[in-house]
Amino acid sequence: MRIDAVEFIGSFYKIDQIPQDDLPELPVFGRSNVGKSSVINCLTSRKIALVSKTPGKTQSLNYYKINERFYLVDVPGFGYAKVKQNLRESWKRVIEEWLTHSRKIQAVIQIVDSRHEAQTADLQLAEWLHHHRLSFIVIANKIDQIKKHELTAAIRKFEKTFGTDVYPFSAKTESGKKDLLQWLYSIVYTNHQYSSN
Ligand SMILES: Nc1nc2c(ncn2[C@@H]2O[C@H](COP(=O)(O)OP(=O)(O)OP(=O)(O)O)[C@@H](O)[C@H]2O)c(=O)[nH]1
Ligand SMILES: [Mg+2]
């Protein structure tokens, strides 16, 4: 798949603000600082999502319309201790409401840091996605930071832990970009028929 058109639609803080059309949504989830915004920039070949060394940069649901056909949604990172407890709780509610009620979520992209073992927060999200029967893949990002001979074992371990496909990736070197675009193509263009099409 080629990404030709990318349009930033907006940053939303409440579910009733998000686009009301029929286009499928693909949310990008993961702990703070794993590289969610960087992966979106890599896929779209644009510096469109804000990236920061400091965790907690993305604070709202950011909608990017891709090829006039679907939305990639940059989601605030979870598991970031410095975000105030009450803010974390209210976000959790917003996101649960969205994931539970939206019929437009086609699949979820969960990003993890390939350098570290899966953390409790990663596992909780995966469990929750399985529970709600949302299909998802795991992107093991930052593979430019791990040794080649450690990669295969790390990916296998993630696959076993998460119970889904795991794609090695580097937003920095763009390694894995072609495979991820191929997956997006299969999800958006071939798996699902929309009545509006
Ligand atoms: N080496 C390396 N660094 C990366 C990669 N992807 C992201 N980073 C760096 O990781 C940091 C966090 O990246 P972001 O894309 O802002 O992470 P995020 O998950 O969107 O973070 P929040 O919005 O705070 O939840 C930045 O300093 C990025 O430059 C990668 O593949 N390799
Ligand atoms: Mg971000």
CA of 57, nearest ligand number: 1
Q: What is the pLDDT of residues 57-100, one digit of tens each?
A: 677 899 999 999 999 999 888 765 556 666 677 777 888 888 88
User: What local confidence, expressed as pLDDT, does residue 81 receive?
Assistant: 53
Q: How many CB atoms are located within 10 Å of the residue 83 CB? A: 17
pTM higher than 0.85, yes or no? yes
What residue spans define the domains of the chain? 6-190
Q: Which CATH number fits domain 6-190: 3.40.50.970, 3.40.50.720, 3.40.50.300, 3.30.450.40?
A: 3.40.50.300
Q: What is the pLDDT of residues 115-145, one digit of tens each?
A: 999 999 899 889 989 988 899 999 999 999 9
C-alpha–C-alpha distance, residues 193 and 4, integer Å:
21
| Residues in the 5 Å CB sphere of ion ligand 2 | 36-37, 57-58
Which of 33, 119, 141 for a ligand 1 pocket mutation test, highest count of atoms within 8 Å of Cβ? 33
**Residue for token digits 């989830």?**
29
Tokens standing for residue 27:
């949310």
